[in-house]
Structure 1
Amino acid sequence: MTSGDSTTASAPSPRLLITLCTYNERENIERLIPELHDVAPDADILVIDDNSPDGTGALADTLADADPRVDVLHRAGKQGLGTAILAGFREGISRGYQHLINLDADFSHHPRHIPAMRALMETTDVAIGSRYVEGGGVIGWNWRRHVMSRGINLYARMMLGLPSRDNSGSFRCYTVSQLAELDLDRFRARGYAFQEEILYRLRRLGSRFQETPIVFEDRRFGESKISWRESVAAVWILFRLAIDRVFRVRVRRDAGLADTPAE
């Protein structure tokens, strides 16, 4: 497939698209995709690969050639997790899916949680796989990562007015029609802060959130891509979004309008 292009099936698209954003995940996706099919046989899977040096994209093409439910979107290089997820959103919107699930491609998010997440979509707009509700948890982290994750989630809740406990994880199911209401070109975050930004922007639309417990398991193969530089950048972007939130609240109050849910 050509860079920036993906194939489009001629048959009517199913209700669910699962997106996997990959960079050097060859060892994982060959095992992950069959497990996704086991729990969601009706779903299409879109691999969004940033020209992985380890050949993830080429392997994904091979898997796609053998299974019409698998497709690949090739990008020219590493452009950030946020932009990869947005690319998946655009595909989900343009193809007319009802729901879209995004999860990490390294088995940190186990497919076994998908059925519970899908069940929530009967009564909510966004189902959040949460490490921080009863029944959720994390396996394999040191204390520094626990502190960093807890801190960024508390910061996001306070600064952005988000009601959910886990705002930094990417394991979620979205209602595609609500994603279509967003201006995807206005997103500020290119990296991991995207997770909080999408919740903030959806909350401003009035989207309903529900959390379902998941156990986050540190990756089986490969190396983590989270760095302290990325964490600092996330804090800064969330601060800028908080300023935007305060400004919007003041403008609406001065105009005598009711606050939106995230405000």
Structure 2
Amino acid sequence: MPDSIVIIPTYNEKENIERMIRKVFSLPFNFHVLIIDDGSPDGTQIIVKNLQTTYPDTLFLEERAGKQGLGTAYIHGFKWAIEHQYDYIFEMDADFSHNPDDLIKLRTACDEGADVAVGSRYIKGVNVVNWPMSRVLMSYFASVYVRFITSVDIQDFTAGFMCYKRKVLETVELNKIKFVGYAFQIEMKYTAVKHGFKVAEVPIIFTDRTAGTSKMSKGIFKEAVLGVIRMRINSFFRRYPEG
């Protein structure tokens, strides 16, 4: 059985999802794919179900009732992947902002000793295409802010292109992860470091979506700004057994 699964949360991604799935399965590595769909009214899940006839043993779909947040989608997927005994568990967006070819780079980083591999936009300069400067600056300085608050040296704390070894997700108490928006990415990285896992950043180029609609909102950034302080304070009162 292949040991790697790519988790892709979806909400209204009918313009991208078939191309993304076919691209992942065209890679020179045997990845499985798990789609977590939050009741997309545009029929994203119907496209996935149709593709399951082409990829019956490698494409999986979990449907949830309504939009419940990025963090809960990934946690649902993590628990599913742990239950099915995958050793390398990836997270990636459906909109091609993450280049599927880079999945192999993340896998290689974990093979070479990392417990968590981060597809980093900022480890070698700023590698972001098609974003307005205001959003680039907001994203970049969000990571600066998180490094300042947490004293953890990760250049791209908000990155959502990741590979986890299964032991990381088994050690991190997933039910205690509080954030549901993009701050979820911050909390997962911080918690992994606190448990003593090795995090490696792999340089990628992030390209903003050309199809579909972004899910970013001001509320997501507010959660991150206030939540990081709360997360740091709470960490003083919590034990993090080494994995």
Pairing partner for 2:197 from 193, 204, 207? 207
Q: Cα 1:234–1:213, aligned 2, differ >3 Å: closer, same or farther?
A: same
2:154 paired with 1:161: no
Q: Tell me which residue corresponds to 2:5.
A: 17
Could you tell me how far apart the structure 2 residues matched to 1:39 and 1:56 are? Answer: 22
Q: Deviations over 1:135-173 (max 9, x none)?
A: 760000111101210121111111122221011011010
1:91 to 73, 80, 93: 80
Which residue is equivalent to 1:117?
106
**What secondary structure, in the 3-state scheme, does the structure 2 residue paired with 1:26 have?**
coil
Give structure 2 stretches of 5+ with no counterpart: none
Q: Which amino acid aligns with 2:128?
A: V
1:216 match: 206
Q: Secondary structure at the match of 1:66?
A: coil
Contact 1:136 1:213 in 2 (8 A): no
User: What corresponds to 1:152 in structure 2?
Assistant: 142
DSSP 3-state at the match of 1:18: strand
Contact 2:29/2:104, CA 8 A, preserved across alignment: no
Q: Is the 8 A contact 1:135 1:214 kept in 2?
A: no
Q: Deviations over 1:219-263 (max 9, x none)?
A: 020111101121111211111101123455xxx9xxxxxx999xx
Instruction: Give distance in 2, aligned partners of 1:61 and 1:160.
Output: 42
- For the residue of structure 1 that corresponds to 2:66, the secondary structure is coil
Decide whether aligned partners of structure 1 residues 124 and 81 sit closer, same or farther in structure 2, where only a CA change above 3 A counts.
Answer: same
Mapped partners of 2:219, 2:125: distance in 1: 31
Structure 2 partner of 1:9: none
TM-score by length of 1: 0.87
Aligned residue in 1 for 2:62? 73
Structure 1 residues 25-64: aligned runs within 5 Å: 25-39=13-27, 41-64=29-52
Do the aligned partners of 2:11 and 2:40 also contact (CA within 8 Å) in 1? yes
Partner of 1:106 in structure 2?
95
**Equivalent position to 1:198, from 180, 183, 188:** 188
Give the conservation status (yes or no) of the 8 Å contact 1:83–1:190.
yes
Letter in 2 for 1:157: R
Distance 1:32 1:18 in 2: 11
Cα 1:159–1:135, aligned 2, differ >3 Å: closer, same or farther? Answer: closer
Q: Which amino acid aligns with 1:25?
A: E
Displacement after TM superposition at 1:178 (Å): 1.6
Does 106-115 or 237-246 show the bigger shift? 237-246
TM-score (norm 2): 0.94
Structure 1: gaps spanning 5 or more residues: 1-12, 253-258
Instruction: Indicate if the aligned counterparts of 2:120 and 2:201 stay in contact, CA closer than 8 A.
Output: yes
RMSD value, Cα: 1.7
1:59 Cα deviation from its structure 2 partner: 0.8
| Aligned equivalents of 1:78, 1:189: Cα separation in 2 | 15
Give, as a single letter, the amino acid of the residue that structure 1 aligns with 2:190.
Y
Compute the displacement of 1:41 (Å).
Answer: 3.8
